[in-house]
Amino acid sequence: MSDETHPTAEAQEQSQQVSQQDATLEPSVEEKTQGDIDNIEDNTNNEKQDDDGAPKTVFDDPKEFNVKHPLQNTWTLWFDNPGKKANATNWSENLKEIVNVNTVEDFWGVYNNIPKVSILEVNSNYHVFKKGVRPEWEDPFNANGGKFSVQLPRNRTGEAINDYWLNLMLAMFGEQFQYEDEICGAVVSVRKVFYRIALWTKTSQRNEKIETIG
């Protein structure tokens, strides 16, 4: 007696039906894929174009990608680290003009390539002022000015000082102050036990503009 089993006529018929169903499915998959490709091609052809036929981009000029976004004012970065025996004379001599920035891209290029405030040596200062204004009270632009300042303990501030300083610079560059013409610049100072951030204004007298800024 053989162990082999032979499919019944009913089983053979079901197998043929399944094969026929598979065969009918394959063209449907091919047709669907081809349809998707056609749709993609149609969408591509429907891209917005400029008057000269070139596809539009996020840039003003689709052929020129070296685009910069100008700031309303040009700003100058200054640095000094006068040491313990500094006086008014040698402090001024120690003050170094680093670079001018007048576009968003230039600013980030500078900011990302200079030491962050949190790693500067004690007694170091960064100054960011409008071009042509020295970060000194003796400068004519600052002669009648004042400042808002805040001191932050180093042991509790840590690297957060970098964000505070960055946000203040971005507010100045983006003209976020209502009376931006009153803004001279800003200073961040590193001392032994604290950081100090100061915003210098052109006017020291208490008035509506100054109160709005502060």
How confident is the model over 118-163, as pLDDT tens digits?
A: 999 999 999 999 999 999 999 999 999 999 999 999 999 999 999 9
The number of folded domains in the chain is: 2
pLDDT at 112: 97
Tell me the percentage of the chain whose pLDDT exceeds 90: 53
More confident residue, 65 or 190: 190
What angle (nearest 5°) sits at the alpha carbon of residue 130, between those of residues 127 and 135? 40
Mean pLDDT of 64-86: 85
pLDDT at 160: 97
Q: Which residues constitute the domain of residue 61? A: 1-65
pTM (2 decimals)?
0.68
Nearest to 83 by CA among 126, 134, 138, 125: 125
Length of the chain: 214
84 and 49 in one domain?
no
129 and 37 in one domain?
no
pLDDT at 86: 64
Of 13, 31, 65, which closes a domain? 65
pLDDT, mean over the chain: 78
